[in-house]
């Protein structure tokens, strides 16, 4: 299992920033115009007069929910996506697995410094300003979550999580056909790819056909794909109905479930920064490696994920 984590961690980081992803979810009225909706939100943020570095903005941020604050962080990254792609390409994949956690802004600043020679002075200063703004928001998020202030300073936090297996959160929900679903769904499969998505996320919707293809291919080997629509709260028939329309239009038949926001799984999903995000879960309910962040609709990315899953199922790594 240790080797699996090392391999998956490297893959996860390699994929993490080679995509155009969504930030935290927001409700949309028409999923048939998902891409337009997502893009318009980004444009709205770009044109907004709100300045995160101002005192007024800091006060406003203190009054916002964790979800809204995370969305602000993602909007900052999306605004200068081209420049951030240069920085993210400098991530050291060999040191990700098992590394102690540092604060989000400290991690981003390290990438910016590593990419300094490949950025113009203007872009370098731009990204440093982004990191500063993201750091301010991160402090507010951590205070809201009750995280120790030392974490905000980028210091190492002691945790046994790097030595122990991480269990997929407990949950009791229903699939889109009304059938009850729990963690028992992992029991009869060697490996499950759990895909977190929501209706208004264009990249999420765009990768659905690939996920269906992946499900069909790994099913023969004892694997499966399961979708968790984080926008489809348990009992929200309107959102679930819309999600079912999207899945049908994309030709998907793999199981999708709704989410109880108050469950352990709901709390886990709240931490997801970008969509789509997928995690691999073994038959014992253990999370294998790190999350796969980003869509797998591109052929090259899809093949990398598929090959990794096949190797895990065959227990070759």
Q: What is the pLDDT of residues 174-205, one digit of tens each?
A: 999 999 999 999 999 999 999 999 999 999 99
CB-based contact 4:253 (threshold 8 Å): no
Q: Are residues 238 and 295 in the same domain?
A: yes
Q: Are residues 124 and 250 in the same domain?
A: no
Hunting for tokens 């979800």 — which residue is that?
67
Q: Are residues 179 and 293 in the same domain?
A: yes
Q: Measuring CA to CA, which residue among 202, 276, 198 is closest to residue 16? A: 276
Give residue 142's pLDDT: 77
Q: Are residues 121 and 199 in the same domain?
A: no
**Within-domain flag for 75:** yes
CA gyration radius for the chain? 19
Domain stops at, among 79, 111, 145: 145
CATH number at residue 264: 3.40.30.10
Q: Are residues 105 and 175 in the same domain?
A: no
Q: Measuring CA to CA, which residue among 107, 111, 96 is closest to residue 13? A: 96
Give residue 31's pLDDT: 39
CA angle centred on 42, ends 37 and 43, rounded to 5°: 95
**Within-domain flag for 6:** no
Give residue 102's pLDDT: 64
Q: Are residues 191 and 113 in the same domain?
A: no
Q: Are residues 81 and 170 in the same domain?
A: no
Domain count, the chain: 2
CA distances from 196 to 61, 173, 205, 250, 266 (A): 26, 15, 11, 16, 11
Give residue 24's pLDDT: 57
Give residue 293's pLDDT: 87
**Within-domain flag for 211:** yes
| Strand extents, DSSP E, 46-159 | none
Q: Are residues 170 and 286 in the same domain?
A: yes
Q: Are residues 108 and 235 in the same domain?
A: no
Domain that holds residue 128: 66-145
**Within-domain flag for 42:** no
Domain stops at, among 115, 145, 175: 145
**Within-domain flag for 150:** no
Give pLDDT < 70 ranges for the chain: 1-63, 90-102, 145-165, 316-317
Rounded distance between C-alpha atoms, residue 16 and residue 37, angstroms: 23
Give residue 12's pLDDT: 46
Q: Are residues 113 and 76 in the same domain?
A: yes
**Within-domain flag for 4:** no
Give the global pTM.
0.57
Residue 88: how many other CB atoms lie within 10 Å: 18
Q: Are residues 195 and 293 in the same domain?
A: yes
> Does the bond joining 272 to the residue before it have cis omega, within 30 degrees of 0?
no
Q: Are residues 170 and 141 in the same domain?
A: no
**Within-domain flag for 131:** yes
Q: How many residues does the chain have?
A: 317
**Within-domain flag for 203:** yes
Domain stops at, among 88, 111, 145: 145
């Amino acid at each position: 299992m240790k080797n699996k984590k090392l391999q998956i961690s490297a893959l996860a980081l390699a994929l993490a920033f080679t995509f155009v992803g969504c930030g935290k979810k927001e409700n949309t009225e028409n999923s048939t115009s998902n891409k337009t909706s997502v893009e318009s939100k980004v444009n709205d943020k770009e044109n907004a007069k709100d300045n995160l570095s101002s005192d007024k903005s800091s006060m406003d941020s203190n009054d916002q929910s964790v979800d809204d604050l995370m969305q602000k962080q993602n909007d900052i990254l999306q605004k200068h996506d081209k420049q951030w792609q240069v920085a993210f390409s400098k991530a050291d994949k060999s040191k990700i697995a098992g590394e102690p956690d540092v604060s989000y802004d400290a991690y981003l600043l390290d990438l910016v410094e590593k990419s300094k020679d490949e950025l113009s002075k203007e872009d370098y200063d731009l990204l440093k300003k982004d990191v500063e703004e993201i750091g301010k928001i991160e402090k507010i998020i951590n205070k809201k979550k009750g995280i120790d202030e030392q974490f905000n300073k980028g210091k190492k936090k002691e945790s046994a999580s790097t030595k122990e297996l991480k269990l997929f959160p407990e949950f009791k929900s229903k699939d889109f056909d009304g059938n009850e679903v729990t963690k028992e769904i992992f029991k009869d499969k060697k490996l499950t790819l759990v895909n977190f998505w929501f209706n208004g996320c264009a990249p999420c919707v765009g990768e659905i056909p690939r996920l269906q293809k992946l499900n069909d291919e790994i099913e023969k080997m004892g694997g499966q794909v399961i979708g968790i629509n984080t926008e489809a709260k348990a009992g929200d028939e309107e959102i679930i109905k819309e999600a079912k329309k999207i899945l049908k239009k994309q030709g998907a038949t793999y199981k999708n479930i709704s989410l109880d926001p108050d469950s352990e799984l709901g709390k886990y999903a709240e931490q997801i920064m970008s969509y789509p995000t997928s995690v691999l879960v073994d038959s014992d309910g253990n999370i294998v490696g790190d999350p796969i962040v980003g869509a797998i609709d591109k052929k090259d990315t899809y093949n990398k994920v598929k090959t990794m899953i096949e190797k895990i199922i065959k227990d070759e790594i």
